[in-house]
Amino acid sequence: MKSVSAMAIAVAMFALAPSAHATILNLDASTSGSVSITGVPIGNVDVTMTTLSGNGNLQGSPILGNYTLFPPSPATFGASRVGATDTFAVGGTVNQALTYSAADGILAAIVTWTLIDGATNDIQFEGSFAGVGTGKFVGFSNGTVDLALTPFGVTVASLSNTGGTVAGGIGSGALISGAKGVPAPVEGAGLFGLIVGVGVLYLLSRRRHYRLQAA
């Protein structure tokens, strides 16, 4: 038990180390789960996400894998319009666990959302991540996240003025490791790193379990 705890802490410390260069994990359209956005006039929206999953791949690699984006904490979070712009700032600290598994590696990360671009129908979420990986994802320790939802036929800016609710899924997305402009770790990042480390240990144990079953 002590050795497992030590491993988790070691992996967590590695999760917060800087990555050497930018590498992109592309996320395809989600095949399950949904994102719901409700307008709260005037100038605010509430966002709720269920577990979302789909395929993805490391940019330039033909190997497909599977990602899972778990419900955020808190489960429903708000965002408020920034002045007269179509940008919405996410209120408080909103974290979301993401895992990705493929033949070329495994990634576990904590995504933190900061902004929503409300000017277009394919609503854009922007944030950062702290993660740890194996194989090709060893360098995915931190970076930025961009997520575009499936077109809703209405913008966040419009919803924030008129109210109503729309729901859909992920249209596309990307985790960019080593991207410039990644904010410094915020208070509590060590805890997030520990969560990431434990997540990776769990994923590695599952992969070992499947290999033993196949043997």
pLDDT tens, residue by residue, 178-205: 865 444 444 444 545 545 554 655 555 5
Helix residue ranges per DSSP H, 59-188: 156-162
The model's confidence at residue 120, banded by pLDDT at 50, 70 and 90, is confident
> Which residues does 197 contact at the CB level (< 8 Å), separation at least 6?
7, 8, 9, 10, 11, 12, 13, 14, 15, 132
Identify which of 73, 77, 69, 6 has the alpha carbon closest to the alpha carbon of residue 44.
Answer: 77
Sign of CA dihedral 24, 108, 51, 80: negative
Q: Using one digit for the tens of pLDDT, what is the confidence trace for 130-167?
A: 999 999 999 899 999 999 999 988 999 999 999 999 99
Mean pLDDT of the chain: 82
Q: Using one digit for the tens of pLDDT, what is the confidence trace for 79-113?
A: 999 998 999 999 999 999 999 999 999 999 999 99
Identify which of 113, 87, 80, 126 has the alpha carbon closest to the alpha carbon of residue 186.
Answer: 113
Helices 2-15/189-214 angle, 10° precision? 120
The model's confidence at residue 121, banded by pLDDT at 50, 70 and 90, is confident
Domain ranges within the chain, ordered by starting residue: 19-187
